[in-house]
Amino acid sequence: MKILIVDDEPAIADTLSYALRAEGFTVDCCTLGSEALNRLATDTIDFVVLDVGLPDMTGFDVCRALRRHSDVPVLFLTARADEVDRIVGLELGGDDYVTKPFSPREVASRIRAISRRLHPENRSATGEQTHSCGQPEKTAKFEIDPDGLRIAYHGQWLALTRYEYLLLALLLQKPGRILNRAQIMDSVWQDGGDSLERTVDTHIKTLRGKLRSIRDEEIIVTHRGLGYSLIV
């Protein structure tokens, strides 16, 4: 796995780079958001460790621009731990958030955890073993293609973001089962924390809209005070 570290503090970048190489990763570094976007447009990068406070643009701006054409995983680094910043980072498409000072081993562990979550053909978002043959799994209304990280609804492939895919795949694991927001956060946004539960509601809303655009029926049910379930 090739990781790009985007941080303008040499002490942090060098320490993290050394630790990640010791873990077996290939690592490259840059200090500017614009340079990072150029690298990502011309090079094959598997993971981005992105500082929020960069000299030329914020890490949030970098992520926003990146998400227009790429789903490469992003782990934010920041000196701030404000809830609003964490919510913004995740809703822009970031995969996790680490506050400085941090342990390089913790960053490596989170990178591996995110990579496992983004390949549910081998292991589901909850850690349960799933089919690994790569063949689409079908239900009456849905078809799941784990290799392509996509889901079809009534024969039409949904245009899902990474989190929408993981959320819908989680609900499809056990139709009818009620999952509360904390359970969904733990499974889809690992280490997100209870304070970020509103991002679950946001993704449920967008997911419902995409499902309704294909068939005008309500299959994601809200159970007040309990959580959400899927009817298939």
pLDDT in tens, 161-217: 888 888 898 898 878 888 888 788 877 875 544 445 678 888 888 899 999 898 888
How many CB atoms sit inside 10 A of residue 205's CB? 10
What is the structure's pLDDT at 196?
57
Check pLDDT > 60 for residue 111.
yes
| pLDDT (0 to 100) of residue 185 | 81
Distance CA 190, CA 109 (A): 12
Q: How far apart are CA 197 and CA 182, in angstroms?
A: 7
pTM score, whole prediction: 0.56
Helix (H) or strand (E) holding 212: helix 198-212
Q: How confident is the model at residue 135, as a pLDDT?
A: 45
In the chain, the domains with their CATH numbers are 2-117 (3.40.50.2300), 137-230 (1.10.10.10)
Separation between Cα atoms, residue 211 and residue 142, nearest integer Å: 11
pLDDT tops 80 at residue 118: no
Q: Provide, for the chain, the percentages of residues in helix, strand and coil under a 3-state DSSP scheme, each rounded to the nearest 5.
A: 40, 20, 40
Convert the pLDDT of each residue in 180-195 to its tens digit.
887 888 778 755 444 4
Kindly tell me if the per-residue pLDDT of 137 is higher than 70: no
Q: What is the pLDDT of residue 37?
A: 94
**Residues facing residue 50 across a β-bridge:** 6, 76
**Helix 198-212 vs helix 83-91: angle between axes, to the nearest 10 degrees?**
20
- pLDDT at residue 136 tops 50: no
For 59-77, what is each residue's pLDDT tens digit?
999 998 998 888 888 998 8
Bridge pairing between strands 96-99 and 74-78: parallel
